[in-house]
Amino acid sequence: MNARTIIELEKKIVPEMFELIEKRYQILLNIFYYEPIGRRALANNLKLGERTIRDETSKLQEKNFIKIERQGMRITEDGKTLLRDLEQLIHITRGLFRLEIELEKKLSLKNVIIVPGNVEKNPKVLNLMGKTAADYIKDILKDNMIMGVTGGSSVSAIAKEMDFMNLKNVFVIPARGGMGKIANNQSNNIAAQLANKLHGNYELLHMPDDVEGEVLETLKENPTIKYTLEKLKKLDVLLIGIGRADKMIEKRGLSQKKREFLKQKNAVAEAFGHYFDKEGNVIYRSSSVGIGIQDLKKIPHVIAVAGGSDKAEAIKATCKIGKDFLLVTDESAAKAIIEK
């Protein structure tokens, strides 16, 4: 009998023990992401009574998992170690290993990683997805590799959660032009942030994602842009986010004509400048330069990060274009996809 089977058996016999573990896991996780945090704020985050929080945090303090200071509570190094160990346990008790296998079959993907929680209810779940993807990248990234990144909050979370590494001659480059107004979520900024953490180099793509016609052709002849585009053809790793088509239409500020066209064609998803219907067919591509569908098969490691049950249809459609993707998603999206 393996450890996973034993834990599942114990959960059936003593469910209250795992309810307590889950509660303390959530407390530690919230302290980790919101430190320094006071008891009242923590109680509000977790929808628990202040007395419960006081009792539980006192126990965690006694074991040296947290520190309680005037500014608020902070997690200790012992607490961080415990949190990492608990993540594996929570994966088993919530049945996420089985859910991953089921989702891989549903989406015909080789690899799916599900993090516990719902990013729509707790924005910090996005950090967990980012950390999970970052840990995976640490295992596959080697000296002399080239990594491409798209923009968006999910890919930005990977950069934020990436640990510092000392790699040689690693290049990070934007895989698309810029879009939207949030600077931290721009592909150029993400590329620079990741390169800094990896002790690598980066190039920038100084052009918006919706340039057309003569202006586009002129920009493509710019030596710096030309150099970056050449490197895009040699990617070893690509990080992408997945968005709902209706939301991305607004973010990209598409013309009324294009909006009507995408609505007529029943667009449900957007990724790296491509809009897809529910069958994964490309129905519109931004005319800007960057990664295209034909490039994906040449890239050894494509990592897609997206969560939230509202993105279930978008994730399902996008994953039809790449069976070799690694998908990092959250529990709510995984369940919603399986139920559809």
d(CA 11, CA 86): 15
Does residue 15 carry a pLDDT above 90? no
Q: Are residues 203 and 292 in the same domain?
A: yes
Instruction: Quote the CA–CA distance of 216 and 214 in Å, as a whole number.
Output: 5
Could you tell me which of 146, 140, 27 has the C-alpha nearest to residue 83? 27
305 and 191, same structural domain? yes
Q: Are residues 108 and 30 in the same domain?
A: no
Q: At 26, list the tokens.
A: 């959530």
The pLDDT tens digits for 238-285 are 999 999 999 999 888 888 999 999 999 999 999 998 999 999 999 998
pTM equals: 0.89
Do 298 and 172 share a structural domain? yes
Half-sphere exposure of residue 240: CA atoms within 13 angstroms, side-chain side? 30
Number of domains in the chain: 2
pLDDT surpasses 90 at 146: yes
pLDDT of 104 reads 97
Q: Mark 185-205 as b/e (b = at least 16 C-beta within 10 Å).
A: bbbbbbbbbbbebbebebbbb
Q: Write down which residue in 73, 93, 113 finishes a domain.
A: 93
Q: How does pLDDT run across 288-320, given as a tens digit for each residue? A: 678 888 888 899 999 999 999 999 999 999 999
Q: How far is CA 93 from CA 1, 19, 219, 311, in A?
A: 16, 10, 53, 25
Cα radius of gyration (the chain): 22
The verdict on 119 and 236 lying in the same domain is yes
Helix, strand, or coil here: 312? helix
What rounded mean pLDDT belongs to the chain? Answer: 91
Enclosing domain of residue 29: 3-93
Which CATH number covers residue 308? 3.40.50.1360
DSSP string, 65-92: SEEEETTEEEE-HHHHHHHHHHHHHHHH
Same domain, 263 and 135: yes
CATH number at residue 68: 1.10.10.10
Q: 80 phi and psi, to 5 degrees?
A: -65, -40
